[in-house]
Structure 1
Amino acid sequence: MKEKWRVKLAQALVKSPEKKKDRFKIGYLTKKYALFILPFITCLREGLEAVVFVGGVGIGGQATAFPLPVVVGLIAGITVGALLYYFGSSMSMQIFLIVSTCVLYLISAGLFSRGVWYFQTYKYNQATGGDASENGSGPGTYDINQSVWHVNCCNPETDNGWDVFNALLGWQNSATYGSVISYNVYWIFIICVLLLMVYEEKHGHLPFTKNLTLVQLNPMYHIKGKKKHELNKKQQEELFTKLRQQNFGEVNEEADEASSNKLIEQPVEQVSEKK
């Protein structure tokens, strides 16, 4: 993965369209200004989500329901932004990405398990003729035939506070066979994929195959014809040589040269050979 992004960054810095009018094409601009577009789109999306969620609260609630979540959200956002701004330079990017990825894995595991739980609850509600889980936590509010465990409290549907754990981690006070099995299947799948990625990083291919990688299992890899755009070892070395000789300007020439040398100082360990 590291080598892949080294090549992508080098291509973005070195390659430029032959025709001047091609420099205004969306494909070229998105590659060149990817580091700006990605956080911009992320902030825009989060802002739209905030408007939608606050608007949703306003439709079904009173005006007094606005201040607390808005103020708390602003405080949390400003706090996290300030921490990233002042301590981001001293923080290891690798550690930050690992921690954030693990958090996303936890959230997605909860979403997967919760989706199965809601599907089973829907089937039970159809059989009973009502929203059983919203009527409390006692007998009759859950399907005893599908229950793994049940506690008469901590219901995310009715008890305040537990809905946060439900949204982030998929917590349910009444676990079913489907929700527990799906949660474990999800983590088994993630573990298998990570092991395959580690093996591919060390050997350059998947186990028991010499010319197959994970990316080649993606149908879009073949539909978009990405194979023909891959560079072999010689082409990558030529690319990094061009990057070393690239002139990024006179003002920050020394800094740019140091950055380019840092990008190419490590040898290419994994390459994709062209057939």
Structure 2
Amino acid sequence: MGLALLRINKTKEKWKVKIAQALVAHRKHRTATGWFSEISRRYVMFFLPFITTLREGLEAVVFVGGVSLGLPATAFPLPVVCGIIAGLVVGLLLYRGGNVMTIQLFLIFSTCVLYLIAAGMFSKSVWSLQFNTFSQKVGSDVGESGDGPGSYDISTTVWHINCCNPEIDNGWDVFNAVLGWQNTGTYGSILAYNLYWLFIIFCIACMLYEERTGSLPLKKQLIDVMLKVPGLRNYVKRKLAISREEAEDIIRQAQNDARDTAVLQVEPQK
């Protein structure tokens, strides 16, 4: 998703063709699809944000309810109010900031934050697997033994800090949730964090190479092989880029259809 966000400016022509194809296909099958398809087409820019916001709201309710079942009712108002205020502030900044910041800078910043969170989650998952193995050997209460000796496996540890434990020290759990912070660095978690960033760097380097040369090495050979596989043939054909002449024809046809539809809507009014 982050790589797609970085290339959003490069995909403007691609999405223009896709929208034109959808409009042409809709005009051909409009009589057979009925009123539901017509309403979906007209109010798609309402339904999409509405469903997305509704899903996030339901997820927030389930999350808050799940993590606070053992807490008293007095523990709810302050976090809920703070969350609403934070959401309003972020929304206002996004709304006002769109007038002074280009969309490309915003997408780059969002992608960097997204990858920081993802790298932390990947490293944290490896750390949790290693800690689970250690806790099974010495007992499940090791997580509550503090920060000193005995609270971590010294044989797999690169470094350790006798503080800043996200499990027992207040405040550090935020860095643990967002960036995957742990006060103990193991071989697995450190390697996982660095390998994740090396993978992202490799993917971006491949994207730059493809944009400069037009194609990746062995891409044509791989496509030829995939076209021979029955289950992948149709998928690959849909993903293959159409020629510039075909794209212009599709856009021209969509424009003509839109013009004809506007004329038909105006004539009954006269």
How does the TM-score come out when normalised to structure 1? 0.78
Q: Which string of whole-angstrom CA distances, capped at 9 and with x for unpartnered residues, describes residues 146-169 of structure 1?
A: 101100111011111111111111
Percent of pairs identical after alignment? 52
Q: 1:209 to 1:31 in 2, by over 3 A?
A: farther
Match of 1:106 among 116, 119, 136: 116
Q: 1:102 to 1:207 in 2, by over 3 A?
A: same
Q: Which amino acid aligns with 2:137?
A: A
Is the aligned partner of 1:64 residue 2:57?
no
Is the aligned partner of 1:161 residue 2:171?
yes
Q: Using the TM superposition, give the Cα deviation of residue 90 of structure 1 relative to its aligned residue in structure 2, in angstroms.
A: 4.0
Q: Using the TM superposition, give the Cα deviation of residue 242 of structure 1 relative to its aligned residue in structure 2, in angstroms.
A: 2.9
Aligned to 2:250: 239
Q: Which amino acid aligns with 2:93?
A: L
Separation of aligned partners in 1, 2:107 and 2:86: 20
Segments of 4+ moved more than 6 angstroms: 28-33
Aligned to 1:225: 235
Q: 1:48 to 1:74 in 2, by over 3 A?
A: same
Aligned to 2:6: none
* Contact 1:57/1:66 (8 A) holds in 2: no
Secondary structure of 1:153's aligned partner: coil
Q: Using the TM superposition, give the Cα deviation of residue 86 of structure 1 relative to its aligned residue in structure 2, in angstroms.
A: 3.0
Secondary structure of 1:152's aligned partner: coil
RMSD: 3.0
Q: 1:224 to 1:75 in 2, by over 3 A?
A: farther
List gaps (5 residues or longer) in structure 2: 1-9, 264-270
Q: Which of 1 and 2 has higher RCO (CA within 8 Å, sep 6+)?
A: 2
Q: Using the TM superposition, give the Cα deviation of residue 7 of structure 1 relative to its aligned residue in structure 2, in angstroms.
A: 2.2
Separation of aligned partners in 2, 1:158 and 1:138: 13
* Contact 1:113/1:170 (8 A) holds in 2: yes
Q: Using the TM superposition, give the Cα deviation of residue 189 of structure 1 relative to its aligned residue in structure 2, in angstroms.
A: 0.6
Secondary structure of 2:158's aligned partner: strand
Secondary structure of 1:155's aligned partner: coil
Tell me the number of residue pairs that the alignment of Structure 1 and Structure 2 aligns.
246
Match of 2:192 among 156, 172, 182: 182
Is the aligned partner of 1:201 residue 2:211?
yes
Q: Which has the higher helix share?
A: 2
Aligned to 2:91: 81
Q: Using the TM superposition, give the Cα deviation of residue 107 of structure 1 relative to its aligned residue in structure 2, in angstroms.
A: 0.7
Separation of aligned partners in 2, 1:29 and 1:186: 44
Separation of aligned partners in 2, 1:90 and 1:15: 38
Aligned to 1:253: none
Is the aligned partner of 1:173 residue 2:187?
no
How does the TM-score come out when normalised to structure 2? 0.79
Secondary structure of 1:158's aligned partner: coil
